[in-house]
Chains A and B, each alone.
Chain A
């Protein structure tokens, strides 16, 4: 089955939802996302490249051949997993919005579907222009989702979200455009083929060029991740977005940043990366602790979970820049796990919000008395988020940390530029995560019952409805599955990871030497 369907189905359904009668919008959107999920599962089943380092699903479709623009698609195992994550989360978002969204239903679902198409485009693009268009295009539906269906402060949140990430990605565009320009200059013809550009850039760009290209790409991707200190758009956007928006934002959109780092920054500009690793590692580590401490003093549940993403994604970035397979594999698994558990947490909070119309922990508490099923799910996903072994979060956090830990220059096989101290400081995030997540659970789930009168018009039962349970249960099962049987998934990541890291075992020692020389010069 052609991967093109993955983009065409949501896109065409978006159009039909927009023009369909109001009453069927929800149904069309649900069916569309479920069909997309089914198609992605079929494609994944036929995907022949789970265990090798090749790209599968290659589809060619020209767009503007004169300048080398095309809708070519491909995917390797990490991209495939992220596609699956997106197609799994989308039906959850759509079905989860059934009772929450009552105004301008058609526009709402149309934008959600456009968003899905754009996200899948990012993961599947083989052509740089296609990638960039898709990457930027995720902003538009998200902007409208926040601005149109968000909370009380939605206007400024949506504008900040848009401008912040847009500015960042303009710089990314500059970097990528420079690579394409140099490629055209060197080979005499324009091409935006990502594998070709990657191969070209990693070898033919000088160290200085690589460094600046990397900085430019980092500007966009780091904002998306978000990496400390360019994360300030996130709490606001998360808090103000409608539930489904938060789920997609945390579940997939943040992963566009880490995916960009994995797909472009690491393989394209290795020489630049080795120079920046200690600084990025430090920012990631600070992000872990900083985000966690801020979480701990929040009164707004949604803001707490939003800041927890800043903390969690710090682990993810740390794993990427460990420059060893355990770090990278852990990091990619982290992307999936964070999508599942934080997505579920936002969903759970949305369910409470729909009933009580507050996110203030001073007004909500002891909900287990009224909502035992909700509470069971809440505790479950908190555990998953806490990286308790046996659930999904553990394996990825463990691998990211052990990756950073072992990334010392004297590591024989995979020398790196981080080391134990990064892991130790980021590791305190484990303790801080327990502090803020149990603070959240202690306030919201346990304790004496307190809540404003439930909304009679929500049409929802006191505890979860079977629709809501149906949304959470599959996510919970996936969390258990990835916690108990991660090896199958992890093994599929090995080849791509090793390909991505190919240049580093030789580059890192050179960098260490030149740093030593520099120190000597400065010292002398």
Chain B
């Protein structure tokens, strides 16, 4: 058909006609498992996309209302409803691939790279998407109030960023191959960049955004290389085919693959891990997450606590069969997780900014999740992801409410007695419950159930030292969590004068907008309590956190979900049939409940002593410690163990110096000395040959003529030369 060729190429529609000559193209599209009428799953991605586009339209058309927020909430809420519907309709015994469109599909001879844009719906995907879209909706609702002083273009930008995030997170979690996961992976990184740098006039926010993206990119290189090797060795990036290869005979198959492939295969899990450690802020990449707190608090809650940072855990659970490609892979994950958990907890103990405390606590809790994956308990890891998503969201959102109400005040040495202030009841008590969860308070807190699984599995997996580190961290966690709550919410009742003194110096949105001053002025003097949206969201997420207790215990719903997914190998891996007369200490799953509870309660008791009953003791203790030989340790903890400084000195500065040195080399040596030097050569020759000519043009003409002669000579001489050379050889 004349005139339609180019169009058919652009639309990739030529494929139908083309496929007949090159039959191999069509063969690489995923073996269409029965989609069972689940084609509408694409809506989960389409809805945030629509929200994103609409927010862009609002920004351009100058909308100055809360319309962006309501649009986003509506789209995300609908996406949640779709996910819920998918969960109810899908048969989680059988993963389903829903092909959407062709993305990358190349083939030649027998090789092919195929990354169709399809959705892989299994229990793990649905589990993740349920809390991602659910929390996304609720936090967008919270943000509608939290961000209200920015109504205007910035408001559109904020909700546009949230929509991009949900879109990318959807690709990451629902994609049916590693390349689509990578698409989402980088996409959430960009969303995170835009949202951390939301207050773009603040240099610290811009720097934090940049740091987050760059540090993540280091991990991403690992992930990318892991993907290359996976493709090279397995010939496919699609989960359904990969798992088929890896799980043909269970673990044996993977081990054999590794044997056959040599180091290039054995290294795959380590490369994937690097990606996971970057995105989930583990050692050695965790440094970006605390700085990411520069973003607005709803962003911290959604992206940097509940959802995006769990992407690394998702990746490892999703590719769990690949962890078996090297025997040291799982232990590495476990130790990195354990070390991160402890390190971050020690830093969290010594911070005064409550949002930073929560940031380090997120790093620390993510460490637990990796410890869970590493000790072959994908169930424990996923359970902790699930419970943590809710209670940590509450903690951040309450911090946000305080920050919002107190004009940016986050210092726990300044804030106090919130319990007694009118209008803060929901904030105070949801924060209390979430703190119980983080501290692992027995029975009634969700964190208790999920953290215990990981700790018990660490012992059951034969890693008592790691388990011990986990227990120690649990104690520290309980301490620093309640240090915050006791300091901020308890204490003597503040009067109006005290409250005014507590106010921070942050003027919400004043950088961008001058209107609405009447209200702002009031804000600057007295704290204002949160309104309905914030209180509603806090209540709902807290209820969800309570509800999650019903889902996470062993043999419950969540374990079932994980057991039906690619993480199945990590469910019950450490369970051994114990003899009936085995003692109490033989089964860690039994005694851990008591030991972990005791440790948690101990941490809370110390916090209560130092920060509730005897507040001056905390200062005295600090003074004593600073006078003792432990001084260096305390200082180091307060200064985050100087890790940022270390990286700066070891990596960033040397690179910067190299950059400058190479630039100098490029300019002065390569360009001026070598190139210009060579350029002057004919000029000098020209000058000696014809001293009368000294104009620039003449010398260049001479040089050109010289060049031409040289070339002509070469052409004449070269054949002879080559003959000579050929003869010699």
Contacts and interface: CB of A to CB of B under 8 A. Distances in A.
Interface of A: 41-42, 44-48, 50-51, 159-160, 163-164, 166-167, 170-171, 173-174, 177-178, 181-182, 206, 208-209, 212, 229, 232-233, 235-236, 290, 293-294, 296-298, 325-326, 329, 366, 368-369, 372, 383, 388-390, 394-395, 398-399, 401-402, 405-406, 413-414, 420, 423-424, 427-428, 430-431, 434-435, 438-439, 442, 445-449, 481, 484-492, 494, 497-498
Contacts of A160: 675, 679
B729 interface: yes
A484 B103 contact: yes
A498 B111 CA distance: 13
B656 interface: yes
Interface string B641-671: 0000000000000011011101100100011
Interface string B191-213: 00100010011010011011001
Interface in B13-55: 13-15, 18, 21-22, 25
B9 A406 contact: no
Contact of B224 (A178, A293, A427, A438): A427
B722 A390 contact: no
A435 B187 CA distance: 17
A369 B201 contact: yes
A446 B5 contact: no
24 contacts: A48-B5, A166-B704, A173-B711, A232-B670, A297-B663, A325-B109, A369-B201, A389-B182, A405-B225, A414-B111, A431-B218, A434-B213, A438-B209, A438-B210, A438-B214, A439-B210, A442-B207, A446-B197, A446-B209, A448-B203, A485-B12, A485-B103, A487-B102, A488-B13
Nearest to B9: A488
Contact of B6 (A44, A233, A388): A44
Per CB-CB distance, the 6 closest pairs between chain A and chain B, nearest first, are: A488-B12, A232-B671, A389-B183, A297-B659, A325-B108, A446-B200
A424 B655 CA distance: 18
Given A45-B3, A293-B658, A438-B214, A167 B9 contact: no
B371 to A, nearest CB: 28
B10 A481 contact: yes
Contacts, number: 223
A46 to B, nearest CB: 6
Given A388-B190, A491-B14, A423 B225 contact: yes
B106 interface: yes
A273 B217 CA distance: 34
Which secondary structure characterizes the binding site on chain A? helix
B21 A51 contact: yes
Contact of B715 (A178, A431, A434): A178
B9 A449 contact: no
B578 interface: no
B225 A46 contact: no
A430 B182 CA distance: 14
Interface in B660-704: 660, 662-663, 666, 670-671, 675, 679, 700, 703-704
Contacts of A398: 179, 224
Interface in B250-289: 264
Given A232-B670, A431-B221, A486 B104 contact: yes
A360 to B, nearest CB: 16
Contacts of A290: 662, 666
B231 interface: yes
B18 to A, nearest CB: 5
Nearest to A441: B210
Interface in B620-655: 655
A235 B201 CA distance: 31
Interface in B78-115: 101-111, 113
A159 B700 contact: yes
Question: Which of A297, A388, A494 has the largest number of chain B CB atoms within 10 A?
Answer: A297
Contacts of B582: none
A488 B102 CA distance: 10
A168 B134 CA distance: 62
Contacts of B220: 430
Nearest to A297: B659
Contacts of A293: 655, 658-659, 662
B200 A45 contact: no
A329 B708 contact: no
B153 A424 contact: no
Nearest to A164: B675
A423 B190 contact: no
A50 B9 contact: yes
B719 interface: yes
Nearest to B232: A406
B11 interface: yes
Nearest to B102: A487
Contact of B109 (A329, A389, A413): A413
B714 interface: yes
B222 to A, nearest CB: 9
A391 B46 CA distance: 17
Contacts of B110: 413
A58 B345 CA distance: 71
B45 to A, nearest CB: 12
A372 B590 CA distance: 60
Nearest to A56: B5
A48 B1 CA distance: 10
B328 interface: no
Nearest to A443: B206
A487 B3 contact: no
B201 A447 contact: yes
B465 interface: no
A427 B225 contact: yes
Nearest to B676: A160
B200 A366 contact: yes
Question: Which of A45, A420, A487, A498 has the largest number of chain B CB atoms within 10 A?
Answer: A487
B547 interface: no
A390 B187 contact: yes
B715 A50 contact: no
Given A51-B14, A167-B707, A487-B103, A208 B719 contact: no
Contacts of B210: 438-439, 442
A425 to B, nearest CB: 11
Interface string B217-241: 1101100110011011000000000
Nearest to A387: B186
Contact of B104 (A51, A181, A401, A487): A487
A50 B21 CA distance: 13
Contacts of A389: 179, 182-183, 186-187
